[in-house]
Amino acid sequence: MFVVNVEGAILKDGKWLIIERGSDLEHAAGTLSLVGGQVEDEGNTYDIIENTLKREILEEVGIEVKDNLKYVHSSSFLADDGCKVIDIVFLCEHKNGEPFRNSPQEVANIYWLSTEDVMNHTKAPVWTKESIKRADLLLHKL
């Protein structure tokens, strides 16, 4: 079994919404990340991945994204706690709201960073850099 995780590469005015993960989180504490979270068992439902992503973004940073989510890529990894994870990243367009630490335990800081800023940031792990690189490539194909 896998845990399914979804993340949003949220773009506004040419910058990506990046969070610094809380220091108490079990996986990748203190690193830079896209906003997202785990898909929960909601029984029989449609658009569960998309709805989970929109809910997690609202819960963690208090903003809404537009409905036109675009698939970027997926990956699998072993979390720090040994859990097998499938991660799905979507390109998201900011709809409204100013981000804030709505979930301080999960979000230590919020940044709007350029692609170059993410690539050069010392707290950005390889997977966050890869997601931003792929989201940026998709953005330029649109």
- The pLDDT of residue 95 is 95
**How do residues 2-49 score in pLDDT, each as one tens digit?**
999 999 999 999 999 999 998 887 788 789 999 999 998 888 889 999
pTM, two decimal places? 0.94
Tally of domains in the chain: 1
Per-residue pLDDT, averaged over 57-77, amounts to 96
Residue ranges of alpha helices (H) inside 24-114 are 48-61
CATH of the domain at 50: 3.90.79.10
Contact at 8 Å (CB) between 142 and 71? no
Q: Find the domain containing 37 and state its range.
A: 3-141
Per-residue pLDDT, averaged over 84-99, amounts to 96
Mean pLDDT of the chain: 94
- The pLDDT of residue 58 is 96
